[in-house]
């Protein structure tokens, strides 16, 4: 019983760090670069993406015995496209600011490699509960990845964190960090670098994060090797 529970938990958490879809598998890069100019946009994108991923994973897992092998990919694409259309209409009706900020990138969830990849690699082979947990983990992992990129970009690029601009149900507030505008409207200090909210900043931030991750993994691997060597010496 304990072991089964552990396995389920592992299933849920693997998508967050160990198999993070954006930073480890480097999938779904287009929205990760395009929608991360603001923290709110990134959260919105992550949530919409997670909804599509969870729904499509559940449905594909339910239908996995009905869909014959030759037509898997077209069938999956139709299922995913249907959920994307639902999400698009929903956000158009209730979250119009978010809908107009993300624009065509909501439709582009259809061709996001992560959704199709999880459908092919996981949901088509596992039961509903496992697929659901996998989708939740991957969704959270992707949202957190988007959030980390957008935090760096928004803070460095605009000098402040502002909420309530896109997700209009939150009351509007700004947190000044690198830039401070007083109540009269004068800029007291401004150390922001506007490059980071521009397209090139997205490439720089994403590249830097990938470099840091590869440095950490190579450091860990080298430490493992040294430990193994010491173990071998002691055994001798």
Instruction: Catalog residues that contact another protein under the rule CB under 8 A.
Output: 26-27, 29-31, 33-34, 73-74, 77-78, 81-82, 84-85, 88-89, 103-104, 107-108, 110-113, 116, 195, 198-204, 206-208, 210-212, 214-215, 218
Closest CB to another protein among residues 11, 36: 36
C-alpha–C-alpha distance, residues 25 and 114, integer Å: 9
Residue whose CB is less far from another protein, 96 or 203: 203
CA distances from 223 to 3, 102, 193, 216, 219 (A): 30, 43, 37, 11, 6
Closest approach of Cβ 77 to another protein, in Å? 6
Minimal distance, residue 110 CB to another protein, in Å: 5
Look at the block and give the residue holding tokens 């000044």: 176
Rounded to an integer, what is the distance from CA 224 to the centroid of its chain? 29
Contact 155, 161 (CB under 8 A): yes
Nearest of 39, 3, 236 to residue 143 by alpha carbon:
39
First to last CA, the chain: 41
Residue closer to another protein by CB (options 105, 163) is 105
Considering the complex, state which of residue 24 and residue 178 has its C-beta at the smaller distance from another protein.
24
Shortest separation between residue 191's beta carbon and another protein, angstroms: 20
CB of 172 to another protein, least distance (A): 27
* In the complex, minimum distance from the CB of residue 202 to another protein, in angstroms, rounded to a whole number: 7
| Nearer of residues 127 and 198 to another protein, judged by Cβ | 198
Question: Which stretches of the chain are DSSP H helices?
Answer: 2-13, 29-34, 39-62, 72-94, 96-102, 104-107, 113-118, 128-158, 199-235
């Amino acid at each position: 019983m304990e072991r089964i529970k552990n396995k389920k938990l592992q299933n849920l958490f693997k998508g967050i760090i160990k198999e993070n879809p954006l930073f480890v598998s480097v999938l779904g890069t287009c929205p990760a670069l395009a929608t991360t100019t603001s923290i709110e946009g990134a959260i919105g994108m992550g949530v919409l993406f997670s909804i599509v991923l969870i729904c499509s994973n559940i449905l594909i897992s339910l239908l996995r015995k009905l869909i014959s092998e030759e037509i898997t990919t077209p069938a999956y694409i139709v299922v995913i496209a249907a959920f994307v259309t639902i999400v698009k209409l929903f956000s158009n009706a209730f979250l119009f600011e978010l809908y107009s900020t993300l624009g065509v990138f909501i439709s582009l969830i259809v061709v996001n490699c992560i959704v199709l990849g999880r459908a092919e690699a996981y949901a088509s082979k596992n039961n509903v509960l496992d697929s659901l947990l996998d989708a939740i983990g991957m969704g959270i992992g992707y949202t957190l990845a988007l959030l980390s990129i957008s935090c760096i970009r928004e803070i460095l690029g605009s000098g402040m964190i502002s909420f309530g601009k896109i997700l209009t149900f939150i009351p509007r507030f700004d947190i000044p960090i690198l830039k401070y505008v007083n109540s009269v409207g004068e800029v007291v200090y401004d150390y922001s670098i506007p490059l980071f909210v521009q397209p090139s900043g997205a490439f720089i931030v994403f590249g830097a994060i990938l470099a840091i991750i590869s440095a950490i993994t190579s450091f860990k691997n080298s430490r493992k090797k040294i430990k193994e060597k010491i173990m071998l010496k002691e055994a001798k």
